[in-house]
Structure 1
Amino acid sequence: MTSKPKIIVLDDDPTGSQTVHSCLLLMRWDVETLQNGLQDDSPIVFILTNTRSLTPESAADVTQEVCQNLKVAIAAAEIQDFLLVSRSDSTLRGHYPIETDVIAEELGPFDAHFLIPAFFEGGRITRDSIHYLIIDGVPTPVHETEFARDSVFSYHHSYLPKYVEEKTQGRISAESVTRFVLADIRSGSRERLLQLSHNQCAVVDGETQADLNQFALELLAVASQGKRFLFRSAASILTALAALPPQAIAPENMAEYVRGGKPGAVIVGSHVKKTTEQLEALLQAEGTAGVEVNVARLLEDEEQSAILLKEVLENIRVIHDSGKTPVVYTSRQELTFNDVETRLQFGAQVSGLLMDIVQGLPSDIGFLISKGGITSNDVLSTGLCLTAARLLGQILPGCSMILTPFDHPQFPNLPVVLFPGNVGDAEALSTAYQRLIKEV
């Protein structure tokens, strides 16, 4: 049997590792860091590009830089066999086709690129090439949800060939997209996979993990015969490709990692409706105290950021000293801006303030929960200044936990939960918190 290829994931926010464990997440992409990641024992490695928070131009530049350094690192690490994944959102938000275009240009040619947005732990399935979000047990076409109205990444179609046509502005027509529907996947797709060429765009169904496990076996078999494939996917196909054994510590026992049984801290940046519901439930939990950050004040003048930071850190210190867990959250009213660029710039300003808050947290906190994909990326790379971190596994379906290195100057061996904005039920954030304080 041939050895399994290394799965290299360019993750546009740090939550794509939400279905795997025991691998490295890289926050930097210099050649040395990439080479270390490629030589790690795990079959999968994540490079956290955080491009979802960037303008299209910056996303293209970052992706190009990663790919050019990867080329050098792959040669230096003597990696013969690898698969490339552009991991993105299971509700179809992100810079498509910009990222896959750049990857194809830098590391191609590919025989096909696959869109596989199914993410079962988050209730995202694809049937008859239509992508659904299961809301209260009802499969809802994703273009009918709040995610399709995203102020940066809006779209009008759940039927993936039409989504591709819309996002490529007609360069790839809906009719030219190859479809792998459930019947194809369940009866076997090897012959059709062998026939793909010239970076053919293909969209893939999935209702259960077993569907993607089956499809992954076929993909790997065909790739071992020399076919080169690129993936634009959510997390569930990664589970199938990596085929890892169960994680070392069960989700309900993750409190074992909490430092000294101390209270922790929670940082909430995400604005989606689900996050706000989860935040409200968490603030009802015993042992928590809310600290609202009124981000509208940042629009007033330069000095407000410093004043806000001082006020918030004082509040946090008082709550921490009383033995409670401060829950720091941005004001829930989403502000409107004249254009996307201004919105992204303000987002970066808010994130900068949140990261100053992270760096000012008491150094003896027991754990940290970061809510929101972009927020989590910034917590790892800027707030904690990490180059790489080891993924422990999931504390809840779709919610990863990492451990900072033992020699971290401020927060050694700190367990950090990376909680996506759009995952879990209304109680999920509270459940993660209660697991860490041994209540669940």
Structure 2
Amino acid sequence: MTETKIIALDDDPTGSQTVHGCLLLTRWDVDTLKEALTDASPLFFVLTNTRGMGSTQAADVTREVCRNLKLALADLEREGRPINPLMISRSDSTLRGHYPVETDVIAEELGPFDAHFMVPAFIEAGRITRDSVHYLMVDGEPVPVHETEFARDSVFGYTHSYLPDYVEEKTGGRIHAENVERITLDDLKTDLRPRLAELHGNVCCAVDAETQADLDRFATQLLDVAAQGKRFLFRSAASIITALAKLPPQPVPAEAMSDYVRGGRAGAVIVGSHVRKTTEQLEQLLKQDGVVPLEIDVARIDSERTALLQEITARAAQAHAQDLTPVIYTSRTELTFDDQQTRLAFGERVSAFLMDVVRRLPPTIGYLISKGGITSNDVLSSGLELRAARVLGQILTGCSVVRCPADHPRYPELPVVIFPGNVGDAQALAEVYRRLST
């Protein structure tokens, strides 16, 4: 019998924010992929970090993952363990990423697919889709996402919240809005299986969802059809992954995550995200007892890198010696650049600096909180140099906790919170700090 495995190619590490028990891979060689494919969990994530790349590099990385995955699947089939992959191109703030670049590459390398589903709803973060219009809930009111700050992203900006129009915009008219299949809330109340079974030619389908129950109903019917041989691809946020994986509640309650803090010691916080929500959360965190603010003036990174690194790491060590938690954050004023390439290159230098800080944190810190999607990916893959990590669960809605392995050379069994930039209310970052500090 062919086994189904849910495989999410994640453009940052935040797609695990609704699941537990699965592996996050920061490497994608064939042996590592085979290890994940044969793991007991029904799903795993490959952290490609493509949201921090230009489109050409994002396509190259996605292609490399897919080709190695194809080899790993072929090896397992020869070994008598055939696996049918259910592929997900997972992107935080789903409309803000390399679509259709990544789904096109996945289809080229692992297709043909009968359909690809656009499912941006992330219920836990207040992102819903109604009548094919994607909204962000702000103070209890639905705001079309093209009216939010995320739509004005200098790299991934967009002008439409109506998903068929968004698809036409991003594909440059290759997929016309009228050719996008719409699966509405009313449709989800019906038997969709005959309709899903008729899909072919990698048609794009926009899926509504206001609650997790909506996605659960959709996933149940889709899995029934997939079991009959239909091949589907997703471009989605995290909530549909929960529905597809059908996981039980996480074994460790969110309020008990402090049990994983090493020796009950103070931790460290790294903040790279620049979105307004992160800045609001940072302001509240810095009001808490036991924290020490350490601001990195990013304008100094190119000209005074060595001195700045020594200054920040020395102050972090001093705070830790006093059983205080250093909160290390990039300056909040975002610099302007002439073009996207220059902006991305500077972002890479800032991230490389932050990772040098992570590698030089005191080895006895009790925990680490990483704020920002791209920042968190770099923390896992570069700062901590993990090949793979297992998700323990969520400490707060949308915020995963992973743990370094026991044989890590500097931070054995260190719990690490992956905190997306655009998740939670103003108190959320402070709440995570309090839960780990009690």
TM-score band by shorter chain is over 0.9
Name the structure 2 match of 1:49: 48
- Bigger drift between 161-170 and 68-77 goes to 68-77
* Aligned twin of 2:188: 185
Look up the match of 1:35. Answer: 34
Q: 1-side partners of 2:345 and 2:212: how far apart?
A: 38
The aligned counterpart of 2:18 is 19
SS in 2 for 1:286: coil
Q: How does 1:123-134 map to 2 (within 5 A)?
A: 123-134=126-137
Question: Do the aligned partners of residues 360 and 118 (structure 1) sit closer, same or farther apart at CA in structure 2, a change above 3 Å counting?
Answer: same
Would you say how many aligned residue pairs link Structure 1 and Structure 2? 434
Structure 1 residue 4: Cα displacement: 5.9
Residue matched to 2:203: 200
* Aligned counterparts of 1:295 and 1:115: Cα–Cα separation in 2: 36
Deviations 1:192-231 (A, max 9, x none): 1011000001000000000000000111000011110000
CA–CA distance in 2 between the matches of 1:272 and 1:186? Answer: 36
Equivalent positions of 1:193-342 (< 5 A) are 193-299=196-302, 301=303, 304-342=304-342
Secondary structure class of the residue paired with 1:193: helix
Q: Work out the CA distance in 2 between the residues paired with 1:277 and 1:28.
A: 33
Q: Which residue of 80, 85, 101 maps to 2:83? A: 80
Pairwise CA distance, 1:5: 1.4
Question: Whole-Å Cα distance in 2 between the matches of residues 65 and 254 of structure 1?
Answer: 36
- Once the two structures are superposed, what CA deviation does each residue of 1:155-182 show, in whole Å capped at 9, x if it has no partner? 0000000000000000000000000000
SS state at 1:424 partner: coil
> Whole-Å Cα distance in 1 between the matches of residues 94 and 271 of structure 2?
20
Q: Is the 8 A contact 2:182 2:205 kept in 1?
A: yes
Q: Deviations over 1:116-145 (max 9, x none)?
A: 000000000000000000011011000000
Gaps (5+ residues) in structure 2? none
Distance 2:95 2:431 in 1: 27
Could you tell me which of 93, 98, 103 is aligned with 1:95? 98
Letter in 2 for 1:402: V
Give the distance between the partners of 2:31 and 2:341, measured in 1 at CA. 33
1:385-408 C-alpha deviation (Å, 9 max, x unpaired): 000001000000000000100000
**Structure 1 equivalent of residue 162 of structure 2:** 159
The structural deviation recorded for 1:3 is 7.0
Q: Which amino acid aligns with 1:274?
A: K
| Alpha-carbon distance in structure 2 between the residues aligned to 1:363 and 1:404 | 13
2:142 corresponding residue in structure 1 = 139
Q: Residue 430 in 1 paired to residue 430 in 2?
A: yes
User: Could you tell me which residue of structure 1 aligns to residue 65 of structure 2?
Assistant: 66
Q: Is the 8 A contact 2:7 2:87 kept in 1?
A: yes
- SS of 1:392's partner is strand
- Within 1, Cα distance between the matches of 2:126 and 2:191? 25
The answer to whether the Cα contact below 8 Å between 2:94 and 2:235 also exists between their aligned partners in 1 is no
- 1:307: how far off? 1.1
- Look up the SS of the partner of 1:210 in the other structure: helix
What's the secondary structure of 1:8's corresponding residue?
strand
Contact kept in structure 1, 2:13 and 2:376, CA below 8 Å = yes
* 2:358 alignment counterpart: 358
CA distance in 2, matches of 1:292, 1:62: 33
CA positional deviation for 1:366: 0.1
Q: Which AA in structure 1 matches 2:264?
A: G
Structure 2 counterpart of 1:347, which letter? G
Name segments (4+ residues, structure 1) moved above 6 Å.
none
Q: CA deviation at 1:80?
A: 2.5
Root-mean-square deviation (CA), in Å? 0.9
CA distance in 1, matches of 2:260, 2:71: 36
Q: CA deviation at 1:293?
A: 0.2
Q: Which moved more, 1:128-137 or 1:184-193?
A: 184-193
TM-score normalised by structure 2 residue count: 0.98
Is the CA contact (8 Å cut-off) linking 1:13 and 1:49 kept in structure 2?
Answer: yes
Instruction: Using the TM superposition, name which of 332-341 and 180-189 deviates more.
Output: 180-189
CA deviation after TM superposition for structure 1 residue 279, in Å: 0.3
Distance 1:423 1:288, change over 3 A: same
Q: Is the 8 A contact 1:91 1:142 kept in 2?
A: no
The percent of aligned pairs where both chains have the same amino acid is 65
Q: 2:14, 2:92 within 8 Å by CA — same for their partners in 1?
A: no
Deviation at 1:284, TM superposition (A): 0.4
Cross-structure match for 1:402: 402
> Which whole-Å CA distance do the structure 2 matches of 1:307 and 1:189 have between them?
61
Aligned-pair CA distance for 1:91: 4.9
Contact 1:90 / 1:118 at 8 angstroms: preserved in 2?
no
SS in structure 1 opposite 2:16?
coil
Alignment-mate amino acid for residue 83 of structure 1: L
